[in-house]
Amino acid sequence: MSQSEPAVDFLCITPHTDDAEIGLGGTLRLLADRGRKVWVCDLTRGELASNATPDERWREATAASELLGLTGRIQLALPDGFVDPGAAQQVDAVTSVIRLLRPRWVATAPDARRHPDHLATLPLVTKAVFMAHLASYQPGQPEMRIWPGPEFLPVPVEAAATWRCEALFETCPVGEQPSLIFDCSQTWQVKHDAIAAYPSQFSRDPGREATMINDATWLAKIDRRGRYWGFKAGVDFGEALRGQVVPRLTDLPEERWS
């Protein structure tokens, strides 16, 4: 494979392990089912989490990755709670991943609300996407975990000298105008299963600290969001992305527009 060709179709970049499942779990499985090469990159190891160790969360992430049909998953070691688009070392790390995977589309998840790492992820990724196509900018390879293993990285393993992504999206907040909506009606149950693969985060078992996301009503909120975007698209469940790019067509799309 030439380093000028995409190696990955869709790369979802998230601040914490489990955020991809929350924000875009249905879309990730949908694209995987279409034969697309889908990767997730978690920026941190979640060491500040109220429940579970980073190693426990990584084991849960590998189980969730299998359920979603991912081609691969990378976990960086940026400081949990301190994701910072102004930190050169963090920009280096994300830029290195983009050049290593050479994705067509990049999307961040979940939507940027409340948690400072969620708010910081989109500007960090936006800067890294830009820096990735500057030939004079050459960061080193960061510390990372790779699932299923390094041998599953795109070939050649060496990162591209430059890479220009086709599009950058963020998970669209409810009530705002999306650029596109994926029909996740057929993959919504898999999204549930992938979320359930993180019992340390979403199950209020004995010995676990009570949190907002392990409350019994939390999953219902995720379903309401899916139904909201599904209603907008005329389907049962949907996941929405927002970006600055405008689709360019040369013919009417094969799928019904709405």
Q: What is the pTM of this model?
A: 0.93
Separation CA 59–CA 43 (nearest Å) = 16
Contacts of residue 219, defined as CB under 8 A and 6 or more positions apart, other chains included, come to: 192, 195, 202
pLDDT given at position 157: 53
Sheet holding 103-108, edge to edge: 144-147, 72-78, 38-44, 8-14, 103-108, 167-171, 238-243, 180-183
Q: Are 191 and 26 in contact (CB under 8 A)?
A: yes
In 102-159, DSSP assigns E strands to 103-108, 144-147
Helix (H) or strand (E) holding 229: helix 218-233
Give the C-alpha separation, 122 to 57, whole Å.
23
Q: For 78-128, what is each residue's pLDDT tens digit?
A: 999 999 999 999 999 999 999 999 999 999 998 878 789 999 999 999 999
The residue whose two tokens read 């697309």 is: 36
Domains and CATH numbers, the chain: 8-243 (3.40.50.10320)
